[in-house]
Structure 1
Amino acid sequence: MLNEIAQDAQDRMGKSLEALATNLKKIRTGRAHPSILETVHVNYYGSAVPLSQVANISVEDGRTLSISPWESNLVPDIEKAIMKSDLGLNPSTAGAVIRVPMPALTEETRKGYIRQARQEAENGRVSIRNIRRDANGDIKDLLKEKEITEDDARRGEDQIQKLTDKFIAEVDQLLQDKEADLMEI
């Protein structure tokens, strides 16, 4: 039973970490990277489809992304989708190729993005701590129902705490990497 609780907690903490990584990818840095456009969805024959499924996205140079749609009639839809996204990007079209220049980040915008990244990391930590609280509550319930001993309960709580510490360290590492990315000129 304790192993099931620990496994469930580990799975949920892993999902929280994945969600944090996805949210940090949305915060753009000064460099061009195709993952910046992962959240952009294009209207393709009546359904919203990720941009990567209707076009080839490549890095042209350090500050420019190049998007080559597989169907030329998608060019206006892709442009519209990029402008509507909250990424602050302005695409320009040259025939069937869309170029997305990455504006240089000012010191002020860098600090704003770092603040945003820190907030996302804190949300991730809170989520992981809530999972710890739930798991410890499950362990206490088992103890109340006399299904486990106090020693087992203490061991289970220690195991959950070690998991929590491990995942919070990973959150801190993701944040540190993102801050280093943002401060790079």
Structure 2
Amino acid sequence: MDGQRRDAARNRAHIVEAARGRAAAGEGLALNAVARAADVGVGTVYRHFASVDELEEAVVAERFDELAALLRAAGPGQLEQVLTAHFRLLADDALFERVTARAEPALEQTTRTRDALITDLAELMARTRERGDLRADVDAAGVLLLVCGLAHAVRSAGVPADSPPGRVLLRVVLDGLRPPRRD
């Protein structure tokens, strides 16, 4: 039985890697096509992933881990760095942006991870707000909408996230998160 479990884990990893390669090449992740790319039967793919949505979420799981590590390491003075990194991940990876934009993830693990990230972002925002560096009328869900929307817009327009126009647009969003000046 252990050999079968190792085989199943190896097949799953191979499927995810083949899907990741297809996504990086701009190719779709139809389960039949991924099975061919992974050199496994389509039934093997379906045993691991009931839908393309599930496979997509498995492919981008590492991106969620990157965000979690950023949030865990961030102090209240680093909200902009976290949001900038998040923006770049989304703008540079259409699949990640598509998965994060889903109202309902396909995998329970994705739901748990996403909810934990939102909680961590809300906590970072609260610490930033305590310092006086964040307006009081915006919440984590709103900030995520702004960052995801901007990433989608620049990618759709063909504007690289790290280009001068991409940086200016991000700066506008980040500046809008600051509390109003008291003159």
**TM, length-normalised to structure 2:** 0.27
Q: Which protein is richer in helix relative to its size?
A: 2
Bigger radius of gyration, 1 or 2? 1
Q: Which protein is richer in strand relative to its size?
A: 1
Higher RCO (CA 8 Å, separation ≥ 6 residues): 1
